[in-house]
């Protein structure tokens, strides 16, 4: 039996760790995995990735490409009788999914900073093409407003570390210096740390930083990164178990996976 895995670029840390987790869980369960990767997310790229997997006669398809609700429904139809499971969609979508809870992640980050006494918080979100980036950003705004706070800056990167570096550098050059920074992923947080360092700002002495993902390298940043952990190993296990059940003709529930705050050395 073969599981197809349609994924956004594996050059990013989170998707590559999800792919690794899916591959090893599938191996344990005696399933093959074939991968089809899109360079840029989008409906047409996703459609051709799915078609290429279908032409390789996969038994089911796990899709880790950001998709809006209507696009996910359309891709589910495109899979026909082959079961599809989505990993990067809104938890409210009607298509079958196993996703991390974006609102919980946003809330944990905001609550952590507010409890430390922060009021001047800047946001560094992900790209507009990502549903998850938008849900995290909206969650931050909502939970900040529950504390009667508005962000001192709203920045957007492309998930890569260089974009985090450039966005934060530009903010500092414009004279905005927040007390804390919520970042939508650890790679952009890495770039943010460099920009703060080059500006002569201490982390966490002058600025606190909270990342998102807890990828393999985050504990080795300087300083070790406080972040919202998405347990990619668990996502790999759950999604493969669901897919194997679907291939066996069973019904499966949707999953909303919890995330957790990992406190390291970038917040005070």
- Give contact residues for ligand IPT (rule: CB under 6 A): 8, 12, 14-15, 64, 66, 87-88, 130, 132, 159, 185, 212-213
Measured from the CB atom, is 141 or 228 closer to ligand IPT?
Answer: 228
Q: Which residues contact 206 (CB under 8 A, 6 or more apart)?
A: 177, 196
Closest distance of CB 136 from ligand IPT, Å: 8
Closest distance of CB 199 from ligand IPT, Å: 24
Give the residue nearest to ligand IPT (CB): 185
Measured from the CB atom, is 8 or 208 closer to ligand IPT?
Answer: 8
Closest distance of CB 212 from ligand IPT, Å: 6
Mapping DSSP onto H, E and C, the string for the chain reads CEEEEEECCCCCHHHHHHHHHHHHHHHHCCCEEEEEECCCCCHHHHHHHHHHHHHCCCCEEEEECCCCHHHHHHHHHHCCCCCEEECCCCCCCCCCEEEECHHHHHHHHHHHHHHCCCCCEEEEECCCCCHHHHHHHHHHHHHHHHCCCCCCEEEECCCCHHHHHHHHHHHHHCCCCCCEEEECCHHHHHHHHHHHHHCCCCCCCCCEEEEEECCCCHHHCCCCCEEEECCHHHHHHHHHHHHHHHHCCCCCCCEEECCEEECCCCCC
Closest distance of CB 88 from ligand IPT, Å: 4
Please provide residue 37's backbone torsions phi and psi, each rounded to the nearest 5 degrees: -110, 135
Closest distance of CB 189 from ligand IPT, Å: 10
- The reply to whether omega before 223 is within 30° of 0 (cis) is yes
What pairing do the DSSP bridges indicate for beta strands 226-229 and 260-262? antiparallel
Measured from the CB atom, is 212 or 221 closer to ligand IPT?
Answer: 212
Measured from the CB atom, is 37 or 54 closer to ligand IPT?
Answer: 37
Measured from the CB atom, is 149 or 226 closer to ligand IPT?
Answer: 226
Closest distance of CB 8 from ligand IPT, Å: 4
Measured from the CB atom, is 112 or 149 closer to ligand IPT?
Answer: 112
Measured from the CB atom, is 14 or 149 closer to ligand IPT?
Answer: 14
């Amino acid at each position: 039996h073969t599981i197809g895995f349609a994924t956004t670029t594996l050059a990013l840390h989170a998707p590559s760790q999800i792919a690794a987790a899916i591959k090893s869980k599938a191996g344990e369960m005696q399933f093959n995995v074939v991968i089809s990767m899109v360079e840029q997310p989008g409906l047409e790229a996703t459609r051709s990735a799915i078609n290429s997997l279908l032409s390789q006669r996969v038994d089911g398809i796990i899709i880790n490409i950001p998709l809006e609700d209507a696009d996910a429904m359309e891709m589910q139809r495109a899979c026909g009788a082959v079961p599809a499971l989505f990993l990067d969609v809104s938890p409210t979508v009607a298509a079958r999914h196993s996703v991390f809870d974006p609102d919980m992640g946003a809330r944990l980050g905001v609550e952590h900073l507010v409890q430390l006494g922060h009021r001047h918080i800047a946001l560094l979100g992900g790209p507009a093409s990502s549903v998850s980036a938008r849900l995290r950003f909206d969650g931050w705004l909502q939970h900040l407003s529950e504390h009667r706070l508005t962000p001192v800056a709203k920045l957007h990167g492309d998930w890569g570390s260089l974009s985090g570096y450039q966005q934060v550098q530009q903010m500092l050059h414009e004279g905005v210096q927040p007390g804390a920074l919520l970042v939508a992923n650890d790679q952009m947080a890495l770039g943010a740390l460099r920009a703060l360092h080059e500006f002569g700002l201490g982390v966490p002495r002058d600025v606190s930083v909270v990342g998102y993902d807890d990828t393999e390298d985050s504990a080795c940043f300087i300083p070790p990164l406080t972040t919202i952990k998405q347990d990619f190993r668990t996502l790999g296990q759950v999604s493969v178990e669901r897919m194997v059940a679907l291939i066996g003709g069973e019904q499966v529930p949707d999953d909303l996976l919890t995330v957790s705050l990992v406190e390291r050395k970038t917040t005070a």
